[in-house]
Amino acid sequence: MASSLVFFLISTILILSNSISNAQPSSRPRALVLSITKDASTLQYTTIIRQRTPLATINVVLDLGGQFLWVDCDQFYESSSYVPARCGSAQCSPARYTSCATCYAPPRPGCNNNTCGVSPDNTVTGIATSGELAQDILAMESTNGKNVVSVVSVRRFLFTCGSTILLNGLASGVRGMAGLGRGRIGLPSRLAAAFSFNKKFAICLPSSISASGVVFFGNGPYIMQPNIDISTSLTYTPLLINPVGTSSAYTEEKSTEYFIGVKSIKVNDKAISLNTSLLSIKSNGFGGTKISTVNPYTVLETSIYKALTAAFIKEANLSGVPFTSRPRVGFCFDSSKVGSTRAGPKVPNIDFVLQSENVYWRITGANSLVPIEQAVGSLLCWGFVDGGSNPRTSIVIGAHQLQDNLLQFDLATSRLGFSSSLLSRQTTCSNFNFITSNA
Ligand SMILES: *[C@@H]1O[C@H](CO)[C@@H](O)[C@H](O)[C@H]1NC(C)=O
Ligand SMILES: *[C@@H]1O[C@H](CO)[C@@H](O)[C@H](O)[C@H]1NC(C)=O
Ligand SMILES: *[C@@H]1O[C@H](CO)[C@@H](O)[C@H](O)[C@H]1NC(C)=O
């Protein structure tokens, strides 16, 4: 305990002396990493950022489409290096802020006059408030693609101050959200600007609550044990822009979320019949397909949900394994009756077909089904949810379907690289080596 405290103080002092010596980052890393943990009770994915003076570790929920990094500044924000972003300053200009804020209380982080106001939102509950844009020291782990190399820091990293009420609905111990959205003040853009690397990042969500996944910022390689570079052999599809923001914060801006163009859905290579009008993004922002880490399971508009579920039941039935409705848990297999493959239970494949017939995102048993233990035995249950008849977005590809898949977002070329299940490549998202080594 005492030795780890001493270590913490020494590393803090080292980082601070490093970063205070210049406004530039302490060194030019090739890429950065964050570890991702799955919270057992909320199924949210959390990560740890290191910020402030003295440096503090802050737990935040990872939000793929979120606007920016926001943290609660009402409580426990203590830092001698906090700098509010003043209206009209260079710091404010990328934010396209809508108001210049006044705060009728003693000054503190999150409460300063003449600061540009933005709207942090909790994308789990759909609540937004006003918040102060600010800067503070941020420290991150750099990587050579294979393991952690060192800790690097930026002296003035842009983020937003939110309030304690915004934390409702988030995993226990969490103090904010890390928005990886495509906007100009999203984490990917800010980190790329601070460390001068490509506006590119990749997420790899863990499937287990006991092992960490990883986010890479910057270029590959992304090497998982046993020495597999998962940044190679990605399939690419264009990222689409929804012209209307879907965040709960009022905004006239286009959405910071990541949409892709699903053209059809196949089950065991057979296309299911769909109302294709639902698959395109309308000018009012409705329709289309987005990727989300805050939805635990994929949510489908009712007619799509019914067609996919029926096709899956039919194909499973043809292969001799009944997929039947069970009380409370929905459609399930008795797991003792299902064979296994490298990529999970041996069940019909689901393909999200993209820009052409031969470009598809394949969902295998590990991602289509959820294991559930019951007194009567173990079940494998349907990992898709009915989103009702008029949802904002027709298909929201949720976290269960992203687990153990690498997704690389290239903001400069506006394309997504996806791997499908890494299990078939004999690795998982939990195989990154977070141990620090210069080798
Ligand atoms: C902001 O300005 C108002 C009025 O000018 C003043 O009452 C208030 O104390 C100031 N707040 C801060 C945080 O300085
Ligand atoms: C198809 O979806 C659109 C919404 O995008 C809806 O207006 C239309 O009525 C649907 N068509 C059918 C045949 O259900
Ligand atoms: C599944 O197969 C059984 C018998 O092989 C048949 O009676 C049943 O109608 C089938 N169900 C579906 C949904 O195809």
438 in a structural domain: no
DSSP 268-285: TTEEPP--GGGGSPPTTS
pLDDT, position 248: 64
Q: Which helix (H) or strand (E) holds 147?
A: strand 147-162
pLDDT, position 11: 39
Instruction: Select from 273, 274, 276, 277 the residue to mutate for testing ligand 2; criterion: most ligand atoms less than 8 Å from CB.
Output: 277
Are 394 and 302 found together in one domain? yes
Are 261 and 216 found together in one domain? no
CATH of the domain at 362: 2.40.70.10
Ligand 3: residue whose CA is nearest its atom 12 = 314
Rounded distance from Cα 317 to ligand 3 centre (Å): 6
The number of distinct structural domains making up the chain is: 2
Are 138 and 189 found together in one domain? yes
Are 136 and 183 found together in one domain? yes
Q: Which two tokens stand for residue 173?
A: 């111990």
Ligand 1: does its nearest atom lie under 6 Å from the Cβ of 103? yes
Ligand that comes closest to the CA of residue 109: 1
- Out of 193, 224, 255, pick the residue that ends a domain: 224
pLDDT, position 18: 39
Q: Give the burial class of 130: count Cβ atoms within 10 A of its Cβ; 0-12 exposed, 13-18 middle, 19 or more buried.
A: middle
Are 267 and 298 found together in one domain? yes
20 in a structural domain: no
Are 278 and 132 found together in one domain? no
22 in a structural domain: no
Rounded distance from Cα 264 to ligand 3 centre (Å): 25
18 in a structural domain: no
pLDDT, position 9: 36
pLDDT, position 437: 86
Ligand 2: residue whose CA is nearest its atom 12 = 275
Ligand 3: does its nearest atom lie under 6 Å from the Cβ of 313? yes
Peptide bond into 226 cis (omega under 30): yes
Adjacent-strand bridge partners of 159: 134
Are 251 and 394 found together in one domain? yes
Are 117 and 33 found together in one domain? yes
Q: Which domain holds residue 65?
A: 27-224
411 in a structural domain: yes
pLDDT, position 8: 38
289 in a structural domain: yes
Ligand 3: does its nearest atom lie under 6 Å from the Cβ of 184? no
48 in a structural domain: yes
pLDDT, position 254: 87
Ligand 2: does its nearest atom lie under 6 Å from the Cβ of 27? no
The owner of tokens 């039919």 is 314
pLDDT, position 89: 92
- Out of 161, 193, 224, pick the residue that ends a domain: 224
Ligand 3: does its nearest atom lie under 6 Å from the Cβ of 317? yes
Are 209 and 246 found together in one domain? no
State whether residue 111 is helix, strand or coil.
strand
17 in a structural domain: no
DSSP 65-109: T-SSEEEE-SSS---TT-EEPBTTSTTTGGG--SEEE---S--BT
pLDDT, position 346: 96
pLDDT, position 87: 94
Give the number of C-alpha atoms closer than 13 A to the C-alpha of residue 358, restricted to the C-beta side. Answer: 0
pLDDT, position 439: 59
Q: In what order do the strands lie in the sheet with 330-334?
A: 324-326, 330-334, 377-382, 369-374
Ligand 2: residue whose CA is nearest its atom 10 = 275
Are 285 and 265 found together in one domain? yes
DSSP 314-370: HHHHHTT---EEETTTEEEEEGGG--EETTEE----EEEE-SSTT-EEEE-HHHHEE
- Which ligand 2 atom is at minimum distance from the Cα of 278? 5
Tens digit of each residue's pLDDT (9 = 90 or more) over 218-241: 999 999 999 999 999 899 999 999
Are 252 and 178 found together in one domain? no
Contact, 48 vs 34, CB < 8 A? Answer: yes
Are 239 and 190 found together in one domain? no
Low-confidence ranges of the chain (pLDDT < 70): 1-27, 98, 247-252, 439
CA angle 370, 375, 381 (to 5 degrees): 20
pLDDT, position 368: 98
- Out of 186, 205, 224, pick the residue that ends a domain: 224
Tens digit of each residue's pLDDT (9 = 90 or more) over 26-63: 568 999 999 999 999 999 999 999 999 999 999 999 99
Q: How far apart (Å, rounded) are the C-alpha atoms in residues 193 and 212?
A: 27
